[in-house]
Amino acid sequence: MSKKQDNVVRLKEVHDTAVVHPDAEIGKDVKIGPYAIIGENVKIGDGTEVGPHAVIKGWTTIGENNEIFNSASIGQEPQDLKFQGEKSFLEIGDNNTFREFTTIHRGTEEGGSVTKIGNGNLFMAYSHVAHDCQVANDIVMANSAALAGHVEVEDSVVIGGLVGVHQFVRIGKMAMVGGDSKVVKDVPPYVLVDGHPASTNGINAVGLRRNDIEPDVRQKIKEAYRILYRSNLNVSEAIEKMDQELDNSEMVEHFLRFLRNAQRGICK
């Protein structure tokens, strides 16, 4: 046994049946369960727990205090026919939970070669994050929700069970996507969408309250929503009207930036 292998066994709680490549970098207080597989280029931060039969491969970097449940598959090759085995990456932050059978794939050259996961996210059982996705912080993906390639999800989004999100879609901050929805256009911040295809059902009032957004700010967001969706204006006209009539609060400004950068159109 090499010195590096001996350190892994002595300083970490690694089950005898786990397969940990000697070149993998394993932090302090990491637990690796029975029959888990950790690949050569994997880096796992302090305090992370890897459950039984989980597989972590590829150029995958995982931060601190993550919990990876049994049979999760992290850092596998992307499901993209253009992928030719080139070096690509998965970067995961801290304090995330990946429940049973979650799948997170590495990036592709076309998408910048990296998939990114932020901090404090919950990925429920069977959820999927495809290649080149950019997933921010404090997000909940419910059971069997799936993001196609190149999707961007901003902070504090809730995605319901069995949701399918089309490639290149963006989901804005504090939005909520109702269960079993088909999302083919961008979801603006702070709104609730649902359906086939997903359409707006108002402001995500519960999400705003849970994120401690003050009542006066919530009122400004409601007014922005009214202008966008209830004034019979197109998006460009609504942006101009919001610029003229609404205070330049940080959240309204974020709403406007998102609309200006929408490439696929927005859910109506």
* Catalytic position from the list 107, 149, 164, 207: 149
Nearest to 119 by CA among 59, 65, 171: 65
* Catalytic position from the list 33, 93, 132, 186: 132
Supply the DSSP symbol for 225. Answer: H
* Catalytic position from the list 53, 105, 128, 131: 131
Confirm whether 132 is a catalytic residue. yes
Confirm whether 207 is a catalytic residue. no
What are residue 67's phi and psi, to 5 degrees? -125, 115
73: left (phi over 0), alpha (psi -120 to 50) or beta: beta
Cα separations in angstroms, 82 against 79, 100, 149, 168, 169: 9, 28, 12, 16, 20
225-234 per-residue burial string, b: 16 or more CB within 10 A, e: under 16: bebbbeeeee
Q: What 3 state SS string does 65-83 have?
A: CCEECCCCEEEECCCCCCC
Measured between alpha carbons, how far is 10 from 267 in angstroms, rounded to an integer? Answer: 53
Confirm whether 131 is a catalytic residue. yes
Largest CA distance in the chain: 72
Task: Give me the active site residues, please.
Answer: 131-132, 149
